[in-house]
Amino acid sequence: MTRTPHPPTVLVLRALGLGDLLAGVPALRGVRRAFPGHRVVLAQPPGLTEPALATGAIDAVFAAEAPGRAVPSLTHWAGPPPDVAIDLHGNGPESRDALAALRPRRLLAHACPGGPPWQGHAHERDRWCAFLRGYGIPADPLDLRLPRPGTPSPAPGTVVVHPGAASGSRRWPGERFAAVVRCLRAAGHHVVLTGGPGEDALVRSVAERGGQRAQDVLTGGLPFGELSALVAEASLVLSGDTGLAHLAVAHGTRSVTLFGPVSPRLWGPPPSPHHLALWKPGPPGDPHGRTPDARLLRIPTGEVASACLTLLRPVRNRARQPALEVARVD
């Protein structure tokens, strides 16, 4: 019996968080198109397998993670050397060396001799697409949309407020989120609160101060399919600079995102009337710091509430529109 040869493999390293994964989707899709006959494997945390596969840009996930956004070891790679290895993790020699240790036939990395220059002040999506173009691989920074999830939303049509963030420096105070929740509810909007693992106390505190009903508080970290559906079917997402903001952009859902230590020019949504990024200019801070960044604290509650209500106005008008159209037809 003749054995079917295994397809050549492209191994991509981007072992970071959900926001990093979604910001890297345009580059991953560029890789997918450039190597149509290859099996594209993404080295990343196994907890992000579902969103990674949902992008349609990869075939499999290779479990790889390290604390503090460090470069993970790849020595447990069990297959033959990758045909191509691509470093989308960083610009230093550590990530390059982790891939080089697997002895790929071809290695693409900023730290390789003759590799594309690192664009430190570019937006994350633009940076990695430019990196690939430096190797002759086209990639479109706006190719970032995710398909509609098959899972039903647990709360369709609601305003999703997500007060948490991976680090304290990107976490707007809970009492301010609660004030915005009260404002949105007073304007007649149905609000639900979400939080990731370990954020239950924060979410419940915001819910209590904001007058939320228990059934509108989604704690514990939803499974990705439900979270993705919730965001895709939401009327608006309000959050800090975290993975949920990137998920809103990926689904084309209106969003208000609060930025502090890092400018939205580096990590914010693409220019669109559907997305508002609120930020107070100043020297960059530590995106992984423990306390709220000074620029984040300069964003007042009233400005956030006004931004949300501005984006929600056409949603409410559109919701009324079908009845008017029916009346005209009759």
What pLDDT, in 10s, does the model give residues 106-137?
999 999 999 999 999 999 999 999 999 999 99
Nearest of 288, 266, 289 to residue 277 by alpha carbon: 266
Does 2 score more than 60 pLDDT? Answer: no
- Amino acid at position 184, single letter: L
Burial (CB count <10 Å: 0-12, 13-18, 19+), residue 141: buried
Rounded CA separation 254/271 (Å):
12
| Alpha carbons 104 and 33: distance in angstroms, whole number | 20
d(CA 69, CA 280): 26
Rounded CA gap, 210 and 174, in Å?
10
User: Dihedral of CA 126/37/86/71: which sign?
Assistant: positive
User: What does pLDDT average to over the chain?
Assistant: 93
Instruction: Note whether 253 and 268 are within 8 A (CB).
Output: no
What is the crossing angle of helices 200-210 and 174-186, to 10°? 40
- From 57, 47, 94, select the one nearest 74 (Cα to Cα): 94
Q: For residue 258, list its beta bridge partners.
A: 240, 278
Q: What is the DSSP letter of 16?
A: S
Q: Is the pLDDT of residue 302 over 50?
A: yes
Distance CA 21, CA 195 (A): 19
Residue (of 191, 270, 207) closest to 22 by Cα position:
270
Residue-wise pLDDT for 231-283, tens only, equals: 999 999 999 999 999 999 999 999 999 999 999 999 999 999 999 999 999 99
Instruction: Of 2-16, 93-107, 208-222, give the lowest mean pLDDT range.
Output: 2-16
Is the pLDDT assigned to residue 326 strictly greater than 70?
A: no
Residue with tokens 């003749």: 2
Place of tokens 């007649």: 188
Average pLDDT over residues 166-187: 97
Tell me the pLDDT band of 68, cut-offs 50, 70 and 90: confident
pLDDT tens-place string over residues 7-58: 999 999 999 999 999 999 999 999 999 999 999 999 999 999 999 999 999 9
Q: Answer yes or no: is pLDDT of 320 > 70.
A: no
pLDDT band at 325 (very low <50, low <70, confident <90, very high): very low
What is the SS3 assignment for 137? coil
pLDDT for the residue numbered 267:
96
**What are phi and psi for residue 96, nearest 5 degrees?**
-60, -45
- Percent of the chain beyond pLDDT 90? 90
Separation between Cα atoms, residue 246 and residue 242, nearest integer Å: 7
Q: What is the mean pLDDT of residues 315-319?
A: 62
Q: Give the dihedral sign, CA 16/29/92/81.
A: positive
DSSP state of 298: T
- The band of 6, judged by pLDDT with boundaries at 50, 70 and 90, is confident
